[in-house]
């Protein structure tokens, strides 16, 4: 009998009981706003910021409403203004160029390598051609570039680095936590990320003025003294009347849900690693399928999995996706002609007015993506890999071509 996978690619683990109890306590006392506290009480949000700063080794941390807000806030806090060029990966998700465009700034997109990281040679060329002085670096799908080389290049070019760590919370590069190389880092706690509050974001930095600007931007009014993972009040004095309120605070309910999950992050990273390696082992040496190599000094978070089908026609890829879907395996394709759900590519973002990027076009044309929730087991991943491998071989042997577009899973 042909094997079929019956699990869900969108089912996350439940919120820990400790988080549920903490959330209920917040609901019972009703003080959801982060600045709504009683005498002697420290808000859940302030405690969460302190704990995440300690986890990453950052001096300052701000909890906000979403990862997209964290990126936009970071861009404003480092001084990006309307009309400014801002460098970023061409291979990323729409919230990244969206954060740039929402400020009235102009995304300057950079080619991707076959290892799914930013192309440093093209980054240098784009920086010099555009005059951009800020890079919003997306560690897209958890793939981290050579951070020493990137920082050396950006330091030489005078480019400030903001790291988008939506897919790398808990990852490290040569022992350094993801987000600790650049001037600022932004993280996401959206449902499919590594800790889950539905939506939510962090911004971390060691720069006192950037932290103060971000806190003011987030809508602290003049209550910034209630922040704990923050600069001292005197840092705010010179900027507090010149910084607009762009409200995006996190509330105590979401913070209560998140705090226990921080303590589970290392275990989750290890479990995702086991799932990722089970998929790798099952797909290794599949003809015409290329796995993405991972450097030995990178600790990655395997919450998604990618592989390449170099030189496959669109029809063959559509046929593979349809065949896998019929057996319960949901694959996404970054080469699809139209954006579907969360999956889009740079030429779909017309507001960014992107120039053609031939290397990126070639790579995305054969790039397949898959979610890996922690509700999967290693046996599940081995089964999924067997199904994908079998269908890749079947499509190759049959020469099957699908004429119509295949709907991709959310």
* Domains recognised in the chain with CATH numbers: 17-262 (3.40.640.10), 265-398 (3.90.1150.10)
Give the span between the Cα atoms of 11 and 200, in whole angstroms. Answer: 19
Given this model, what pLDDT does residue 107 score? 98
Where residue 401 falls among pLDDT bands split at 50, 70, 90? confident
Q: Do the Cβ atoms of 291 and 307 come closer than 8 Å? A: yes
Give the span between the Cα atoms of 178 and 205, in whole angstroms. Answer: 12
Write the pLDDT tens digit of every residue in 225-273: 999 999 999 999 999 999 999 999 999 999 999 999 999 999 999 999 9
Q: What percent of the chain has pLDDT over 70?
A: 98
Give the span between the Cα atoms of 339 and 358, in whole angstroms. Answer: 19
- Contact residues for 108 (Cβ-Cβ < 8 A; gap 6+): 85, 86, 87, 88, 126, 130, 132
* Alpha carbon separation from 224 to 68, 212, 236 (Å, rounded): 22, 8, 8
Given this model, what pLDDT does residue 408 score? 43
Q: 394 φ, ψ to 5°?
A: -65, -45
Residue 341's SS3 state is coil
pTM as predicted? 0.96
Residue 163's SS3 state is strand
Q: How do beta strands 298-299 and 172-173 pair?
A: antiparallel
Residue 137's SS3 state is strand
Tell me what the pLDDT averaged over the chain comes to.
96
Average pLDDT over residues 145-165: 98
Q: Do the Cβ atoms of 14 and 222 come closer than 8 Å? A: no
Give the span between the Cα atoms of 159 and 305, in whole angstroms. Answer: 31
Q: Do the Cβ atoms of 308 and 366 come closer than 8 Å? A: yes
Given this model, what pLDDT does residue 403 score? 61
Given this model, what pLDDT does residue 149 score? 98
Sheet holding 304-308, edge to edge: 290-291, 304-308, 367-371, 332-333
Write the pLDDT tens digit of every residue in 303-352: 999 999 999 999 999 999 999 999 999 999 999 999 988 889 999 999 99
Q: What percent of the chain has pLDDT over 90?
A: 95
Average pLDDT over residues 146-167: 98
Any idea what DSSP says for residue 118?
Answer: B
Q: Categorise residue 89: left if φ over 0, alpha if ψ from -120 to 50, beta otherwise.
A: beta
């Amino acid at each position: 009998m042909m094997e079929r996978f019956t699990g869900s690619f969108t089912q996350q683990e439940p919120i820990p009981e400790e988080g549920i109890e903490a959330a209920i306590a917040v609901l019972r006392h009703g003080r959801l706003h982060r600045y709504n506290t009683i005498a002697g009480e420290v808000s859940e949000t302030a405690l969460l910021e302190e704990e995440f700063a300690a986890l990453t080794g950052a001096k300052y941390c701000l909890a906000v409403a979403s990862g997209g807000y964290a990126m936009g806030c970071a861009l404003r806090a480092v001084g990006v203004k309307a009309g400014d060029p801002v460098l970023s990966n061409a291979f990323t998700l729409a919230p990244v160029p969206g954060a740039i465009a929402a400020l009235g700034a102009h995304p300057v997109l950079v080619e991707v390598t076959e290892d799914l990281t930013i192309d440093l040679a093209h980054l240098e060329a784009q920086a010099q051609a555009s005059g951009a002085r800020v890079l919003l670096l997306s560690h897209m799908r958890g793939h981290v570039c050579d951070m020493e080389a990137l920082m050396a290049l950006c330091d030489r070019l005078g480019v400030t680095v903001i790291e988008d760590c939506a897919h790398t919370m808990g990852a490290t590069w040569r022992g350094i936590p993801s987000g600790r190389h650049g001037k600022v880092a932004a993280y996401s706690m959206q449902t499919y990320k590594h800790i889950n509050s539905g939506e939510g974001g962090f911004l971390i930095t060691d720069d006192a003025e950037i932290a103060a600007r971000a806190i003011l931007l987030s809508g602290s009014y003049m209550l910034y003294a209630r922040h704990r993972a923050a600069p001292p009040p005197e840092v705010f004095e010179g900027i507090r009347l010149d910084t607009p309120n762009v409200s995006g605070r996190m509330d105590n309910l979401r913070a209560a849900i998140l705090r226990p999950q921080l303590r589970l992050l290392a275990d989750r990273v290890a479990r995702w690693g086991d799932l990722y390696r089970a998929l790798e082992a099952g797909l290794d040496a599949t003809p015409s399928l290329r796995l993405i190599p991972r450097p030995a000094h990178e600790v990655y978070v395997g919450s998604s999995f990618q592989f390449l089908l170099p030189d496959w026609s669109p029809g063959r890829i559509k046929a593979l996706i349809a065949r896998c879907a019929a057996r319960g395996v949901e694959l996404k394709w970054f080469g699809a002609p139209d954006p579907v759900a969360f999956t889009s590519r740079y030429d779909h973002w017309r507001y960014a007015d992107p120039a053609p990027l031939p290397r990126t076009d070639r790579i995305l044309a054969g790039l397949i993506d898959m979610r890996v929730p922690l509700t999967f087991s290693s046996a599940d991943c081995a089964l999924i890999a067997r199904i994908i491998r079998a269908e890749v071989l079947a499509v190759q042997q049959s020469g099957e071509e699908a004429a119509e577009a295949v709907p991709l899973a959310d």
